[in-house]
């Protein structure tokens, strides 16, 4: 959510930003907010004038009563009562308009960084860098579920019976590899100075509406029936929500945190052939990184966050590239975003395995996250990034490390977490 003071002083800047994101249907919202804001300020002025008048009259009542002028005092009391009703009505109107303003402001997108490429959708994202040479196999790489089944590592049929489409059982060495990757990612981030956290896996609606846009909420979140609770789609939700309506001491910034959680997502919409299997699923686990910092430090942390993910994948000998997300591909809260994509030897192209975002103060405004300085309380900047999400990581891992005989190579960094194993042998 942007600062309404900017919208008041420079509405054309807000409109230009909306156009850059190809959301022209939201342009009328700017004028609508300005009109509502004007009404609210007039109501506030009227309310203040009535309160001053009420205070003046109230002070006269005591004087008149002491002077024995009870009839005159009673007339003024009636005037005060009438003013109170007027103030009550004004305050009710103010509250109603404030709710409308907030609802609209939460749909107006955050300002986009000047260096974000302009484009309508993810097809116009721009490649920045590649890391490690893509692996070209001298044999056909099977679909990832076929690889996992030959390793006796996945059971999709049983999951469909117990839970439906979009779920899976991992077994044996593949289940161990899944846990090994998460544990290695946790230690990797701790060694880079991040504090490890396991957060709640459910959050209230006020947190949900604070951490994401309404469209994202509808497409992602599962609601617990009969309760004001939602299953988290990523630990970023409860990690950022932890600081809702708090004032952080300036000396404690930046907060650099890494968190583990299961994640639950609706994953609405039809997906392509290559997104079967475990590419898009309703339940998975993830290691995340979160930073809350001063505004002047957020660009630095943005660079550090995506580099952490790249370094993690490179350490596991998986080629990756980075993409700058274009304006039309950015969610409303994002100032800028960068995707990390892993190489797929099967498809001979890259696919997304993580996303790094700088939300500046847009998320902090929605949640009321500020930090205390000698000059007052300032809204913090928030950032988040995927360390690793094993379902997609497993796809990249088994494709890139598959040997011709069906075995899967385990890089040295993961062997301590795999009981010293150097490869996983096919069972079927």
Domain locations in the chain as residue ranges: 4-105, 122-424
Contact 182, 388 (CB under 8 A): yes
With both helix axes pointing from N to C terminus, report the angle between 172-190 and 390-400 in degrees, rounded to the nearest 10: 110
List C-alpha distances in Å: 168 to 135, 278, 279, 321. 28, 8, 11, 28
Q: Is the dihedral of CA 48, 51, 57, 63 positive or negative?
A: negative
Residue 217 has φ and ψ, to the nearest 5°, of: -60, -45
Name the E strands within 224-368: 230-231, 246-249, 255-264, 283-293, 320-324, 336-344, 349-358
Low-confidence ranges of the chain (pLDDT < 50): 269-275
Q: What is the dihedral of CA 355, 356, 361, 365, to 10 degrees?
A: 30
What's 4-105's CATH class? mainly alpha
pLDDT on residue 276:
62
Helices (H) and strands (E) in the chain, counts: 13, 18
With both helix axes pointing from N to C terminus, report the angle between 70-105 and 27-66 in degrees, rounded to the nearest 10: 160
Please state whether beta strands 255-264 and 195-197 pair in parallel, antiparallel, or not at all (unpaired).
parallel
List C-alpha distances in Å: 412 to 15, 171, 177, 403, 415. 52, 22, 13, 16, 5
Query: Residue 259: how many CB atoms within 10 A of its CB?
Result: 25
pLDDT on residue 410:
97
Length reported for the chain: 428
Contact 40, 94 (CB under 8 A): yes
Model's pTM, two decimal places?
0.89
Please state whether beta strands 381-388 and 320-324 pair in parallel, antiparallel, or not at all (unpaired).
unpaired
HEC letters along 9-64: HCHHHHHHHHHHCCCHHHHHHHHHHHHHHHHHHHHHHHHHHHHHHHHHHHHHHHHH
DSSP states along 381-398: EEEEEEEE-HHHHHHHHH
CATH superfamily label, 122-424: Bira Bifunctional Protein; Domain 2 (3.30.930.10)
Report the distance separating Cα 89 and Cα 318, nearest Å: 64
Report the distance separating Cα 104 and Cα 30, nearest Å: 9
With both helix axes pointing from N to C terminus, report the angle between 172-190 and 298-315 in degrees, rounded to the nearest 10: 140
pLDDT on residue 232:
93
| 3 state SS of 195 | strand
Contact 369, 207 (CB under 8 A): no
Q: 362: closest CA among 106, 117, 114, 118?
A: 106
């Amino acid at each position: 959510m942007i600062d309404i003071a900017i919208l008041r002083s420079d509405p054309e800047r807000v409109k230009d930003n909306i156009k850059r994101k190809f959301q022209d249907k939201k342009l009328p919202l700017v004028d609508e907010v300005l009109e509502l804001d004007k009404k609210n300020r007039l109501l506030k002025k009227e309310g203040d004038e009535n309160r001053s008048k009420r205070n003046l009259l109230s002070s006269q009542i005591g004087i008149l009563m002491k002077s024995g002028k009870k009839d005159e005092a009673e007339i003024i009391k009636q005037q005060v009562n009438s003013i109170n009703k007027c103030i009550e009505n004004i305050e009710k109107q103010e509250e109603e308009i404030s709710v409308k303003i907030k609802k609209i402001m939460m749909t107006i997108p955050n300002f986009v960084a000047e260096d974000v490429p302009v484009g309508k959708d993810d097809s116009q994202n721009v490649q920045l860098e590649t890391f490690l040479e893509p692996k070209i196999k001298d044999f056909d790489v099977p679909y990832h579920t076929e690889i996992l089944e030959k390793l006796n590592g996945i059971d999709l049929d049983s999951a469909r019976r117990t839970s439906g489409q979009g779920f899976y059982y991992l077994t044996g060495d593949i289940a161990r590899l899944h846990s090994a990757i998460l544990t290695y990612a946790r230690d990797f981030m701790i060694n880079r100075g991040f504090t490890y956290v396991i957060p709640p896996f459910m959050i209230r609606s006020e947190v949900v509406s604070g951490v994401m846009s309404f469209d994202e909420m509808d497409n992602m979140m599962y609601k617990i029936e009969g309760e004001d609770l939602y299953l988290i789609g990523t630990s970023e939700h409860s990690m950022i929500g932890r600081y809702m309506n708090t004032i952080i001491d300036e000396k404690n910034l930046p907060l650099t945190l890494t968190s583990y959680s299961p994640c639950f997502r609706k994953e609405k919409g039809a997906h392509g052939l290559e997104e079967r299997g475990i590419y898009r699923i309703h339940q998975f686990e993830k290691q995340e990184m979160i930073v809350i910092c001063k505004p002047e430090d957020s660009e630095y942390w943005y660079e550090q966050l995506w580099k952490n993910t790249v370094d993690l994948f490179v350490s596991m000998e998986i080629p990756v590239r980075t993409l700058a997300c274009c304006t039309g591909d950015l969610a409303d809260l994002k100032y800028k975003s960068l995707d990390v994509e892993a190489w797929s030897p099967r498809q001979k192209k890259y696919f997304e395995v993580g996303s790094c975002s700088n939300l500046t103060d847009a998320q902090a405004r929605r949640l009321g996250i500020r930090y205390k300085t000698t000059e007052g309380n300032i809204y913090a900047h928030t950032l988040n990034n995927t360390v690793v999400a094993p379902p997609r990581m497993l796809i990249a891992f088994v494709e890139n490390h598959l040997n011709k005989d069906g075995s899967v190579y385990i890089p040295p960094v993961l062997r301590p977490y795999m009981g010293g194993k150097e490869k996983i042998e096919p069972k079927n």
